[in-house]
Amino acid sequence: METRIGLLGLFFYYFVVISTVLNIISGEVQSYWEQPFAQPYFDNSTKREVTATVGQSALLHCRVRNLGDRAVSWIRKRDLHILTVGILTYTNDQRFQSLHTEGSDEWTLRITSPQPRDSGTYECQVSTEPKISQAFRLNVVVSKAKILGNSELFIKSGSDINLTCVALQSPAPPSFIYWYKGGRVVNYSQRGGISVLTERQTKTSKLVIARAMPSDSGNYTCSPSSSDSASVVVHVINGEQPAAMQHGNSSANSVLINNRSFSHRGHGPLDRWLAYLGGSKNLILSLASTGLCWLVKSITSPLGGTGR
């Protein structure tokens, strides 16, 4: 009888000890999962506003820690359209794709050949309860090249042609900037004195043709890798006084029409050449809309007539 009581007491003792240990372990496990860091959360180190150019793939990077068995979705905010869930695409527009490497925390939305209409807010959403999301802003811009100065230049034979091209609204430096004359890339070996200086960080390229000749006349085009091209027409003219001369950054130009010398100073392009001007008196034309002022001096009619 005493042996049985001893065994029951020992059994009860071990039962209490084991129950206590199990309760402690259960409490610790439950406490671990209830801690905030164990829940999915966003890594805010990723870029939240992205600018892309038309035709160049746009990438939105969403990084989720402690995802567990939850799913990550990409949603277009303007119409609440579900674009992707996990790595599956849920839209007929196959330009949208979710990129994910197994074991990583990053879920990337790639938009191939984006257009300006794709600009807007996109949400990276995690299927927790309640759901959590992070917004990303995409701006799709049209990058254009610009050749500084007028769209038509007149250069005196023997002077230098100096053209500067800038890639505007380009979120990243272009990988290259090509110069064309007509439809062909400018040929450095065709003649000496041709140089190109391209600065990727400033997105500029300078074309210099030393000692210009009439054969250098033509249409010159600047074409950056990710921008619309820009063109300028260059005329190289023989003689001491060409119809108009390139004067660097100066706004003053010399003009010769019908062997008469004119001078003008302005800040806008010359829209058209002055036609024949008769008379033998000074003529001042003020164009307030463009801020241009032309001073025409001592014009004598070739017919020998007097001014009207």
**Does a structural domain hold residue 154?**
yes
Q: Which residues contact 189 (CB under 8 A, 6 or more apart)?
A: none
Same domain? For 133 and 157 the reply is no
Q: Indicate whether 107 and 126 sit together in one domain.
A: yes
Tell me: do 55 and 130 sit in the same domain: yes
- Among 190, 205, 237, the domain-final residue is 237
Residue 162 lies inside a defined structural domain of this protein: yes
Q: What total number of domains does the chain contain?
A: 2
Instruction: Please tell me the predicted confidence (pLDDT) of residue 307.
Output: 39
- Cα–Cα distances (Å) from 159 to 33, 231, 240, 270, in that order, read 78, 20, 11, 21
The model scores a pTM over 0.75: no
pLDDT in tens, 132-169: 999 999 999 999 999 999 999 999 999 999 999 999 98
Burial of 167: CB neighbours in 10 Å, binned 0-12, 13-18, 19+: buried
Instruction: Mark the ranges of the chain whose per-residue pLDDT is less than 50.
Output: 29, 31-34, 242-244, 246-308
User: Does residue 90 belong to any structural domain of this protein?
Assistant: yes
Question: pLDDT value at position 191?
Answer: 77
Helices marked H in the chain: 2-34
| pLDDT for position 149 | 92
pLDDT of the residue at 167:
93
> Which of these three, 237, 255, 290, is where a domain ends?
237
Note down the domain range covering 112: 41-141
- Let me know if residue 307 belongs to a domain: no
> How much is the pLDDT for 26?
60
- Domain identity same for 45 and 137: yes
pLDDT confidence of residue 63: 97
- Are 175 and 136 in the same domain? no
Please report the pLDDT score of residue 235 as a whole number.
Answer: 96
Residue that terminates a domain, selected from 141, 162, 185: 141
What is the pLDDT at residue 171? 83
- Is 193 part of a structural domain of the chain? yes
| CATH classification of the domain holding 213 | 2.60.40.10
Q: Is residue 50 part of a domain?
A: yes
